[in-house]
Every structure is written in structure tokens, then in C-alpha cells.
Amino acid sequence: MALFSSLGKYKNFGLLLTRLGLGVMFIWHGYPKLMGGPQMWEQLGMSMQNFGINFLPTMWGFLSAITESFGGLLILIGFAFRPACIFLTINLIVAAVMHLSKGDGVMGASHAIEVAFVFAGLLFVGPGRYSVDKK
């Protein structure tokens, strides 16, 4: 459609909008997990059992909370964007497997799966011009 044909000129603005939305939401979800302390971290880290990793659940949970919180911040500002996308994609794959193993089905895991694909795609696209990385 002719109406939308000129929007390609604004792809960097689209990436900025995507980064802002995803970044804020991941900080929103991650911060309470980070502040939840060792009990919350251990509960989060127990998800690694689905991969046969049964040691140090508190550490894995802490790393997950850090990934969501600071990964969201890095996505938001567009700094260390691609490493943040990698870590967030991995974090979301673990979340999806956890939902599937609990019997939530694809509908229960769908949010984690969808956002994992978004971060995997952004890994290739990059943060855009309006970012600290400016690539």
C-alpha cells in the first residue's frame, strides 16, 4: 500500500520503539526477581533441572534475574545490545522449557517462545542508529 511505503525510512525509529518497550518490560519483570533475594533466586534456578543441571540453583536464579534486569537496561539504551540479546534469548528458552515441563503446554510457554524469537531476530538486526552502540 502506498500509505505504508514510506515507513521504511523510519526503521531506526522502529528499532528504538521496540528497544524501549522491550527494555522497560524486562526491567519491570526482572527487578522484583532480583530484589527477591536468595529464596526467589533458588526458585528461579530450579528451572535448570530441566537441562540436567542440579547444582547451585541460587546462582542460576540470580543470573536469570540479572539477565532480565540489566539485559532489559542494555536493550533499552542500546549498549552491548547483541550480547544482551544472546543472554535474554537463552533465558527465555529456559523459561519456555520450564513452562512446557510443568505441563503448561505451548499456550503457557508462548510468551517466552515469542520473545525469544524477537531477541534472536534483533541479534541479527542490531540496535539501530538511535542507540549507544550506534550501529
Name the burial class of residue 106, with classes exposed (0-12), middle (13-18) and buried (19+) by CB atoms within 10 angstroms of its CB: exposed
CA distance 45 to 57: 4
Return the closest-CA partner of residue 131 out of 88, 63, 85.
85
Length of the chain: 135
Instruction: Please tell me the predicted confidence (pLDDT) of residue 4.
Output: 80
Instruction: Please tell me the predicted confidence (pLDDT) of residue 6.
Output: 82
* 135 has pLDDT over 70: no
More confident residue, 10 or 73: 73
Instruction: Please tell me the predicted confidence (pLDDT) of residue 75.
Output: 97
93 contacts 43 by C-beta, under 8 angstroms? no
- pLDDT for 67-125, tens place per residue? 999 999 999 999 999 999 999 999 999 999 999 999 999 999 999 999 999 999 999 99
Return the closest-CA partner of residue 115 out of 88, 135, 94, 134.
88
Band (pLDDT 50/70/90 cuts) for residue 66 is very high
